[in-house]
A and B are shown apart, each in its own frame.
Chain A
């Protein structure tokens, strides 16, 4: 850190001092990690170039295992993207005061991960050079097209929804002059935090946070429908829309927890990501793990009761057959571990919730695997032989590349914007009395 920057930083109020520090102070560890993730991303890029050059044959996909890692990651990433927007929007709409420090990191996850989710189907295309055909020759009955539209809309609204609450903070950075003045002047777009501006901003955020919720719901519903609209066993199910939305929120919360734990540690944000935040999010996780179990149970029970031979082949393949290990690992990650850890106050600590969060993230990835692969390789017709799918190293490196690409971008983002919303924290302090009054109003007796 240059001296004048350090001086400027030291002259700022305490919130700014802590929260803007990562923007100007970068450790060697950061560069090392960025280098590692950059290298892995590069590996993914090279793998993709190889895949384009030689064809999708370089993957482990086959007939009937037509879909694999890419589609799994697509569903998974888009699911994670519900982290942010949906959580922060719901919390904002419901005026949950504890949200103030966590919304920014969640929204950042959303915007960055959507991009990596949205490119997965393109990576999966046999002819990516014809990707524009989807727009030029659109076929409106295809859920894939609905998906393109709803993801496009979601991406745009989430970007705005990330940007608007950033404005006051950008203005703060611009005014502090600690970093790239022209850049932040451009980004802050003339915001000066006048009462009129503040009022308009809050109204816009309020409207957006309501608009974004149905869009977010539609995105994962449509992704569920991509599967549900086919006549394949264990896909053709009405539960898929809500099940996917619920799963998305679940994996989103888990992802936020993991991100928060990391940020808290590396940027020393213990005063912002407090134990209570982990506790509250842990409670949410607990509720969602039960909800997950409820949905999963309902899905499998109905399939089992119907007992159609085509369905049962896939059903047993998951429960006891080829896919038993990923299936029960999923149950462990999505249900057993979070339930065990989150149902007790003693384990709803930052460490406990992080462990549960990691378990859920892995579990939810496995859930996508257990949805995509077993049905794909188990044709409905028993005369047709059962396929097998083993991802190739090309697929695995592309997956690793997209994961590390996301992490890398997230790391870089923490160097550009404050990861905790400064103005909202300040606003939170300012409205304590107002909130107390509001809370008091809830319990007013009939006077």
Chain B
């Protein structure tokens, strides 16, 4: 059974945020005006979180590039009153924008706080609209959005595979963040397929998941930094 998942090697991450910007570009994530950003309404499906510990010069950084964890046991889908968020058979936690009523219960139920809400509708000038990705629908105001593992790419990959009468291969389907990462710290694939790189990496002794003890079974693994 296919279970799409991600392994992020913190030893390789340089915190450059290319994944963040690539994600915003790929998924038509709207930017918000400065005063909105100040209020904490920035949307960033992929975000490099950083937490600094210790005073100069014994400072070090705890950091995690954080997409949606795509839990196998997602707390968000249980609380949605309208089934707008759900887990699909291949393990991607989807958000169905035309169904969402915007109650934000899922956002509060998510211990990883990866759900983003469209407080206002997206604002693009005519020229900015040019760079919208035609594969991803822009969200309206008042709905929740979140990382989808770029599942529109899976839709295309599936179709291509179907046309060629074969299965979807590892390289056919890579989310924008994994594709762009300059240090290849983000690896994506089928966790249950032993030929995929992630299947091997998730067994690495350095592998761990965030707040594993909550039992949500995230499908995003982190490899602890060695340094």
- Measuring CB to CB, which residues of chain A are less than 8 angstroms from any residue of chain B? 54-57, 59-67, 121, 124-128, 130-131, 133-134, 137-139, 141-145, 148, 226, 229-232, 376, 379-385, 387-388
Residue of A63, A379, A381 contacting most chain B CB atoms (<10 Å): A63
**Contacts of A61 on B, CB cut-off 8 Å?**
117, 119
- Measuring CB to CB, which residues of chain B are less than 8 angstroms from any residue of chain A? 36, 39-42, 49-51, 62-64, 75, 78-84, 99-105, 107-109, 111-113, 116-121, 140-144, 210-211, 214, 216
B117 A66 Cβ-Cβ under 8 A: yes
A-B contact count (CB 8 A): 141
Choose one: B49, B107, B120; the contact of A54 (CB below 8 Å): B120
A-B contact pairs, 23 of them (CB 8 A): A56-B119, A59-B119, A60-B39, A63-B41, A66-B117, A126-B102, A126-B118, A133-B99, A133-B101, A137-B82, A139-B80, A142-B80, A142-B81, A144-B79, A229-B109, A230-B79, A231-B109, A231-B111, A231-B216, A380-B211, A381-B210, A383-B51, A383-B63
CB of B132 to closest CB in A, whole Å: 20
Residues A133 and B111 in contact in the complex (CB < 8 Å), given A63-B117, A124-B103:
no
**Given A66-B104, A229-B78; 4 other pairs, CB 8 A cutoff:** A57-B141, A134-B101, A138-B81, A226-B105
Choose one: A66, A138, A226, A382; the contact of B82 (CB below 8 Å): A138
Task: Please measure, in the bound complex, the distance between the C-alpha atom of A55 and the C-alpha atom of B140, giving whole angstroms.
Answer: 10
Q: Is the interface of B mostly helix, strand, loop or mixed?
A: loop
B111 A380 Cβ-Cβ under 8 A: yes
Which residue of A has the minimal Cβ distance to B213? A308
Task: Please measure, in the bound complex, the distance between the C-alpha atom of A192 and the C-alpha atom of B144, giving whole angstroms.
Answer: 56
Task: Please measure, in the bound complex, the distance between the C-alpha atom of A124 and the C-alpha atom of B81, giving whole angstroms.
Answer: 14
Task: Please measure, in the bound complex, the distance between the C-alpha atom of A139 and the C-alpha atom of B112, giving whole angstroms.
Answer: 23
**Contacts of B83 on A, CB cut-off 8 Å?**
137, 139
**Contacts of A130 on B, CB cut-off 8 Å?**
82, 99-102
**Contacts of A383 on B, CB cut-off 8 Å?**
49-51, 62-64
Residues A232 and B81 in contact in the complex (CB < 8 Å), given A60-B39, A125-B142, A127-B101:
no
B81 A139 Cβ-Cβ under 8 A: yes
A65 B78 Cβ-Cβ under 8 A: no
Choose one: A137, A229, A382; the contact of B99 (CB below 8 Å): A137
B113 A384 Cβ-Cβ under 8 A: yes
**Contacts of A229 on B, CB cut-off 8 Å?**
78-79, 109
Which residue of B has the minimal Cβ distance to A52? B142
Task: Please measure, in the bound complex, the distance between the C-alpha atom of A183 and the C-alpha atom of B142, giving whole angstroms.
Answer: 43
Choose one: A144, A376, A380; the contact of B103 (CB below 8 Å): A144
B105 A142 Cβ-Cβ under 8 A: yes
**Contacts of B119 on A, CB cut-off 8 Å?**
55-57, 59, 61-62
